[in-house]
Structure 1
Amino acid sequence: MEIVKDETNRPRESASKATVQPAGSILLAATPIGDTADASPRLVKALQEADLIGAEDTRKLLNLCGRLGIKTTAKIIALHEHNENERAKKLLEAAAAGQRVMVVSDAGMPTVSDPGFRVASQAAAAQIKVSALPGPSAVLTALAVSGLPSDRFCFDGFVPRKESDRRKFFAALKTEPRTMIFFDSPKRVHETFGVLEEVFGADRKAVLCRELTKTYEEILRGTVSELKDLTEGEIRGEITLVIAGAEKSSKDPADYVAQVKALAAEGMRLKDAAAQVAEATGLRKNELYQAALAAK
């Protein structure tokens, strides 16, 4: 066996000969989000070495292997949101028995709005080794190309389907100062921008990323209002939204304590009073609540 040394002078196997995944472990492996060429050599090797693979869609995994020009001898089982609790046990048992177990989603990193979280959580609790094979991510790719601040950001998964749920969803994020990233359906994205316009305001900066890394990739930048107009009509493909965080308010919470106290004097809980005034002023309810407590 050829041995090379890393920067810490610890011996390790040559990358060309080492196995990607040790036996008796679970590997969360990122797959291409569009361009097959984004598959890493480590992913290719891991697919060839695995004993058992939990795939969000078994047909899509086999299709990926075909596009990569490889075959896997692993047993492949479906692992999706409806059966993950049940299948997690089987994957953990296989890893505990010494098998190399992989988890892959249709695209991107497992566990990020995709199956894999329950497997990773249960494996950690059972002290079974879990590692990740990094790679493509629609979340980070969209953030990188958005042109919006990337030093602080949050990912909030899929935008709710129902309009009433969308309204509540975004209302809770109205004063979020970090750049926000969401997945959305092309069938609903126009309506989503309509709700964003009402809740966040027409001038909030936003970016729509469509078909990232694919042939017809498209990046639309503008205000919420502008993107609402641009998405009217038929939109196709995978959609990732990046929305600018709220600007810090120049208002002083102390100036609105009297309003909070007045509502509380009428019988409303102080926290609820602070929340109501925060909704009306755009201030953070926790800041108002703390200011009201201090005023007591």
Structure 2
Amino acid sequence: MASHFSLEPLASNLFMLYLVATPIGNLEDMTFRAVRVLKEVDLIACEDTRHSRKLLQHYGISTRLTSFFEHNERDKGEKLLVELRAGKDIALISDAGTPAISDPGYRLVRRCHEAGIGVSIVPGPQAAVSSLAVSGLPTDRFAFEGFLPARSGARRDRLTALLSEERTLVFYESPHRLAATLADLAGLCPQREVVVVRELTKLHEEICRGSAGELAERWRAEKVRGEVVLLLAPAEPVEPELDLDTVLRAALEAGEPMKEISRKLAKVYGMSGSEVYARALALK
């Protein structure tokens, strides 16, 4: 039977931007293909050349490095596009994990697509999805929210807006803000299940589960070190107390626009907006 796997480059005769995932902690998580691609490309764009050089030295990779990060993304992105148009193959890596995820690299990817430049992924470690997998929380539906706001007021506002979300929520969090974020969650939903995944794949890997109140107390005075992923269990579905027709009649009598009524009630009753609108028309 023919094999579905190939050891050949995806497009060896075309210039290409490769998104190459790198380890999030354990150096053994580097894939054979990632090492090969990083050796074969003409240039590697990375967040911190000093950090990435250690990884490349470990695997005997001598490809030229250039810095590409949030504050030089616009200018350096133009220079990388010039190199790609000149026929160079470039690999994009982040300090850890999959580039372009919660990372300015997505803008370069977009510009490559717009310019007709090929983009390929060399998959591997990714902290958000890996943490979700080991959390024990529902994985059939989830939402990645990146970093929460650093300011306490804005952070509480964001969390409040997300409390009714019926998908597992995944956040990145700074270790020095973890205690404050857990305290916010304890104030908003003390019994909601929370998982803190810390130092994933590293020597001191930790997966801590409990209610928001319990974990807030655990880390209230403890100094947190390392990379942190915070996960919040989904909200329980809220069953409407009144049947749809009763609510629709009340809203129509109050003079609310039918489109607005349909939009608001569709999610509450698990229907599409058009179904609610049709029902409102029938009642009207």
Question: Into which bin does the TM-score normalised by the smaller protein fall?
Answer: 0.7 to 0.9
* Residue identity matched to 2:150: R
2-side partners of 1:98 and 1:196: how far apart?
A: 51
Q: 1:31 to 1:223 in 2, by over 3 A?
A: same
2-side partners of 1:169 and 1:271: how far apart?
A: 24
Q: Give 1:171-210 correspondences, 5 Å limit.
A: 171-199=160-188, 201-210=189-198
Q: Give 1:78-117 correspondences, 5 Å limit.
A: 78-117=67-106
Q: After TM superposition, what 4+ stretches of structure 1 lie above 6 angstroms from structure 2?
A: 289-293
Q: Residue 245 of structure 1 is aligned with which of 231, 234, 244?
A: 234
Q: What's 1:72 paired with?
A: 62
Q: What does the per-residue CA deviation read over 1:131-155, in whole Å, with 9 as the maximum and x for residues that have no partner?
A: 1000001011100100011111110
* Residue identity matched to 2:234: G
Q: What's 1:42 paired with?
A: 33
* Residue identity matched to 1:157: G
* Residue identity matched to 2:143: C
Q: What's 2:207 paired with?
A: 219
Q: Give 1:161-180 correspondences, 5 Å limit.
A: 161-180=150-169
1-side partners of 2:269 and 2:69: how far apart?
A: 38
Q: What secondary structure sits across from 1:165 in the alignment?
A: helix
Q: What does the per-residue CA deviation read over 1:44-98, in whole Å, with 9 as the maximum and x for residues that have no partner?
A: 1111112111101111110111223x13232x21111111122112112211211
CA drift of 1:127 comes to 1.3
What value does the CA root-mean-square deviation take over the aligned residues? Answer: 3.1
* Residue identity matched to 2:40: E
Q: Tell whether the 8 Å contact from 2:143 to 2:168 is kept in structure 1 after alignment.
A: yes
Q: What does the per-residue CA deviation read over 1:177-214, in whole Å, with 9 as the maximum and x for residues that have no partner?
A: 11110000111111111212233x11111100000000
* Residue identity matched to 2:202: K
How many residues are matched? 275
Q: 1:101 to 1:27 in 2, by over 3 A?
A: same
Q: What's 1:146 paired with?
A: 135
Q: Tell whether the 8 Å contact from 2:240 to 2:269 is kept in structure 1 after alignment.
A: no
Q: What secondary structure sits across from 1:124 in the alignment?
A: helix
Q: TM-score, normalised by structure 1?
A: 0.82
Q: What's 1:126 paired with?
A: 115
Q: Tell whether the 8 Å contact from 1:20 to 1:45 is kept in structure 2 after alignment.
A: no
Q: What does the per-residue CA deviation read over 1:102-136, in whole Å, with 9 as the maximum and x for residues that have no partner?
A: 10000001111123101100101111100100000
Question: Structure 1 unaligned runs (5+)?
Answer: none
* Residue identity matched to 1:36: L
1-side partners of 2:147 and 2:270: how far apart?
A: 26
2-side partners of 1:159 and 1:244: how far apart?
A: 16
* Residue identity matched to 2:211: T
Q: 1:29 to 1:211 in 2, by over 3 A?
A: same
Q: What secondary structure sits across from 1:42 in the alignment?
A: helix
User: Are 1:157 and 2:146 matched, yes or no?
Assistant: yes
Q: Tell whether the 8 Å contact from 2:46 to 2:68 is kept in structure 1 after alignment.
A: yes
Q: TM-score, normalised by structure 2?
A: 0.85
Q: What secondary structure sits across from 2:38 in the alignment?
A: helix
Q: 1:218 to 1:32 in 2, by over 3 A?
A: same
* Residue identity matched to 1:184: E
CA drift of 1:19 comes to 4.1
